[in-house]
Structure 1
Amino acid sequence: MVMEIDSSTPNGDDGVNKINGHDHDGDRRHMAIIEPHSELPKPEAPAGLFALPPSPSSSPPSGNYSFKFGKFIRERSNNFSAAIVKKLNSLDDARAEAEPEPAGSTVIKPDEVTQFNISGLKVVVKLKSHGEEGDEKIKGRISFFSRSNCRDCTAVRRFFKQRGLKFVEINVDVFPPREKELIRRTGSSQVPRVFLNDKLFGGLVALNSLRNSGTFDERFREMLGRKCSGDAPAPPLYGFDDDDEEEESMDEMLLSVKLLRQRLPIQDRLIKLKIVKNCFSGSEMVDVLTHHFKCDRMKAVEIGKQLSRKHFIHHVFGENEFEDENHFYRFLEHEPYIRKCYNFRVATNDTAPKPAVFVGQRLNKIMSAILEAYASDDRRHVDYAAISKSEEFRRYVNLASDLQRVNLFELSPDEKLAFFLNLYNAMVIHAIIRVGHPEGVIDRKSFFSDFQYVVGGYPYSLSTIKNGILRNNRRDTYSLAKPFGSGDKRLELCPLKVNPLIHFGLCNGTRSSPTVRFFSAQGVEAELRSASREFFQSGGMEVNLEKRTVYLTRIIKWFNVDFGQEKEILKWSINYLDATKAGLLTHLLDDGGPVNIIYQSYDWSMNS
């Protein structure tokens, strides 16, 4: 086959050469050669593909001496001219480097090109950061032990992130058995403790001293220049529960529950002109217990009351605890609301309920660890996608199942306040991950009402927690009915007085809501005041002295019954403003003139 190059560009196709060839049958075929992009390096042509023009040195010799002499003069002249031009160009380059560029001019240097576009392809030039260049020399592993809500641990975490260093964090509040390892390796449970491979480096003081000495990068690369050995602290693994974590004990009433689940005639019945699904009568349950345990009916009734207190069974209308009559009951797993509860999986949690104080503290620690790892330092931006894939969140979901039959009535007022604040904020994160962020009014109504947990044997939605518990059974905005009806057991958990600061401790996952946080039972009141102060100083209230106008968050308009009259709200808010805003607002209120209040627009977009 004979090949020839056709350098013409027919049809106006620039940058395309054609190789013309003849096959053995004499047919003419074409193969296009696409020229590389002008900003990409030019590849060299394969040897022999293009015929080089004959060089002057290869021309046939001539006997004409004058021709050779003229050629010599021309070559020397060309070389001399090229040298002069090269020198002038070098002077221009030096002058350009010495003189600043005129204002408004744009000069693109080769190393400043960050991207260029090719048809169907986008090429991005990204220079390696200081941390990425160091990663090539770091073969070991940085590990550090931490706790939730620890300032020194936060400083260590921020230090590593700012330097672009990859690290493994082992939070002993999330992984309690790892605290034993910490004590074994360091001799104490103090945190933070940083390990470089298997060697203990120290804590925050050691990091600061090394940074101040100016030899941090050199020392770290030297200590992490070899691969990590098997003696280093192991990173937490996803999906594996702790082997040495104490085993959960089954409830002492479980034997009776299993018996009743097998023997009772569970069926749908017509009660008070309503069809009640999956229920049984009290007398049927007493019959089963007396027959199996060989006890009298009074003893069987007492067993039934214990099962009701532990939320294994409930009266279908919530009328009584348990009686040996024609009353009807059903198991917790058969309640109509149970399928909407996202902390219920297949079956109820039959283990002995943990103390509510312990569950609340554990919830606070795990969710705080999640924020420290997957939210910005100011908590205004949350990485929900990363949270959904994390081991911390998997453990939180497991912990949420412990809420099913927990006894909330044993909590003190401050413990209940912190518990429900934390539960609300945790459920919002869970809801965004499971059902997504609501886009419109209808979606928001479903988001706050339909996403539920079963807690202490009763269903709780986000709206129920906020309006039913924390607001002492007050109507939601634009709602006609209260969350709880008369006789609802959950009314006993409501506070005696509504604390208006709760509105600045609840985050609903939007940009205009307060930042997400979790509270401790010991300092919940002070922490709520701090949250309120942060919210008002971050744009929750603005004061325009010239227009005599105060711009207030729309949250206060929606829940004005919790705050009082508008002038009372302004006086009350002075305690949570910075000195400048407080002075301006005080001046407006004291000079006797009118004060205009405008409520800010609410941004419902997600805080991701």
Structure 2
Amino acid sequence: MEPEDVDAVIPQQLEGRITIYSITGCIHCHRLKACLTNMGLPFVNVDVMNNSVLQQQLVEITGRHTVPQIYFNNVHVGGNDDFQNLTQEELDKLIDLVKYTPAPPDSPPIPQLEEAEENVPKEELKHVRDDYADLVLEFKQSGIIGSHWSCLKMYPHTFTGKKLVNWLVEYKNPASRLSEFMRDMILQLFSEHITPDGKYINYKSMVGSAIFEEYCQLATQLQRLDLENLTRKEKLAFFINVYNALVIHGNIKQGPPKNIWQRYKYFNSVSYVIGGEVYTLQDIENGVLRGNRKGIGQIIKPFSKGDPRLQIALEEVEPLIHFALNCGVRSCPPIKTYTAQEIDTQLKISTEAFLDGADGCQIDVSKKEVRLSQIFKWYKIDFGGTDEKVLQWVFEHLGDSPKKKVLKQLLEQGMIKVTHLPYDWSTNALD
């Protein structure tokens, strides 16, 4: 279903509502919104990226952990793939529904500021302290907030990004906060330089971006961090965010690798100085996040016994990181957002989403065959080491879906053939 009718780009007037739940930087979200825009269909976008309440509501009303999710009034269509697979007849019915029928009460709720009821007595009105009140107070006490000139005009009660970064690094749980700032900036940069169809990233156009310049300033602060006291959750969120940001940073500065030798050099050379030590992409993935295990093509472990970075490595491998790291090619899991507070839930959701997709797991019942991503071949030891243990791991980490029910039936029958899907190493860079 690829709408390309010229007349379809004229915005339509809708009595009802199309609602999309999405996150910033998600390619699938971008593609869905671009498709609707090209069809002239207005929609309401609900960004759930940094709102755990909205994320939970999304799961409750859709039964899905992934984005995007699209509704036509109260009819849940599903994700981008579900929408693209609609027949023309199905699509026409949905368009007619929102075109002529107002959204009913059981349509998905749109977040908005709650207003106090007029009949509530004044003495019962209660004010809730703003979540950032203490932070603003600290800004004022530390001298961050002041007056600054811009274009010959003074703006009071403002602060510069440099002052904020320096304050964060020196006083406020620097590692996790700094990585989250970097993550948010790179996702914003990512979303602003993606092609309209959501397939490619224009890395070259990022070079002159003001956001990229500010991001580079943030990246230099990594060398001042103290990582030794980070918890497991903080390490996971920090290094996943930094890895995904470093891949994009490397693509912007030197261009994406185009063959196996360039990839080997790229992942063993592109690096940040963090806490006084150099961390390449290989160091982050295999040294830290995989608990110092050999990576693809590596003869020895990343960190030797005397390496100070070994103290930062996770005590045990975390298999779920494989569905959160994005190395900049088409078969990689999409870039998402991770926070120390909710990292375990977020990794679980990312894993379910990847396994639910065609790039992660396919099941052929007639052949009693399960086709898995090459990730399960390359890092087989992380998932149990044998085909039987890998399949059991996949079953336990699939969301409640028809695919899980089918896999359960095959597991009960036994004698399952495990093969691996082709891995698309094509870069997502726009030439």
TM-score class, shorter: 0.5 to 0.7
Tell me if structure 2 keeps the 8 A contact 1:379–1:516. Answer: no
Q: Partner amino acid for 1:581? A: K
Preserved CA contact (<8 Å) 1:468 1:474? yes
**What displacement does 1:161 show?**
8.3
Aligned partner of residue 285 in structure 2, secondary structure: helix
State the identity as a percent. 31
Task: Tell me the CA shift for residue 532 of structure 1.
Answer: 0.8
In 1, are the aligned partners of 2:25 and 2:335 still within 8 Å (CA)? no
**1:515 is the counterpart of 2:345:** no
Structure 2 unpaired stretches of 5+: 12-22, 42-46, 50-99, 104-149, 152-156
Which residue, 393, 396, 412 being the options, matches 1:590?
Answer: 412
Counterpart among 368, 382, 385 of residue 562 in structure 1 = 382
Aligned to 1:541: 361
In structure 2, what residue type is equivalent to 1:130?
I
Q: CA deviation at 1:160?
A: 12
Structure-2 separation of matches of 1:447 and 1:367: 19
Cα deviation, residue 394, structure 1: 2.0
Give 1:421's aligned residue: 240
Q: Answer yes or no: is the 8 Å Cα contact 1:421–1:505 preserved in 2.
A: yes
Query: Does the aligned pair in 2 maintain the 1:504–1:531 contact within 8 Å?
Result: yes
CA distance in 2, matches of 1:463, 1:480: 13
- Check the 8 A contact 1:353/1:402 in 2, yes or no: no
Report if the CA contact (8 A) 1:380-1:516 is conserved.
Answer: no
CA contact (8 A) 1:425 1:517 kept: no
- Which piece of structure 1 moves more, 352-361 or 485-494? 352-361
Do the aligned partners of 2:9 and 2:37 also contact (CA within 8 Å) in 1?
no
Give 1:504 deviation, angstroms.
0.5
Name the structure 2 match of 1:392: 211
Which of 273, 284, 306 is 1:465 aligned to? 284
The answer to whether the Cα contact below 8 Å between 2:194 and 2:200 also exists between their aligned partners in 1 is: yes
Distance in 2, matches of 1:447 and 1:416, equals: 23
Amino acid at match of 2:367: K
Q: Are 2:10 and 1:130 aligned? A: yes
Are the structure 2 counterparts of residues 249 and 399 from structure 1 closer, same or farther at C-alpha, using a change threshold of 3 Å?
Answer: closer
Comparing both chains, which one has the higher relative contact order based on Cα–Cα distances under 8 Å and sequence gaps of 6 or more? 2
Q: What is the total number of aligned residue pairs between the two structures? A: 304
TM-score normalised by length of structure 2:
0.61
1:485-531 residue CA offsets vs partner (Å, 9 max, x unmatched)? 11211111111221101000001111111112231111111111111
- Aligned partner (choices 399, 402, 407) of residue 580 of structure 1: 402
- Corresponding residue for residue 371 of structure 2: 551
Cα pair distance change 1:525/1:374, threshold 3 Å: farther
Q: Aligned to 2:228, what secondary structure does the other structure show?
A: helix
C-alpha contact (below 8 Å) 1:353/1:405 kept by paired residues: no
Letter in structure 1 aligned against 2:307: D
Asked whether 1:162 is paired with 2:24, we answer no
1:530 aligns with 2:370: no
Confirm or deny: 8 A CA contact 2:258 2:427 kept in the other structure: no
1:438 aligns with 2:353: no
Aligned partner of 2:159 in structure 1 is 244
**Counterpart-to-counterpart distance in 1, 2:397 and 2:199:** 20
Bigger Rg, structure 1 or 2: 1
1:398-436 deviation line (CA, Å, top 9, x unaligned): 110111121122322211110000000001111111111
**Deviations 1:232-254 (Å, cap 9, x if unpaired)?**
xxxx99xxxx9732764999xxx
Cross-structure match for 1:30:
none
Q: Give, in angstroms, the shift of residue 150 of structure 1.
A: 12
Please report the RMSD computed on the Cα atoms of aligned residues, expressed in angstroms.
Answer: 4.3
Residues 596 and 356 of structure 1, relative CA distance in 2, 3 Å threshold: same
TM-score normalised according to structure 1 size:
0.44
Residue 272 of structure 2 is matched in structure 1 by 453
Aligned residue type for 2:160: E
Residue in structure 1 matched with residue 423 of structure 2 by the alignment: 602
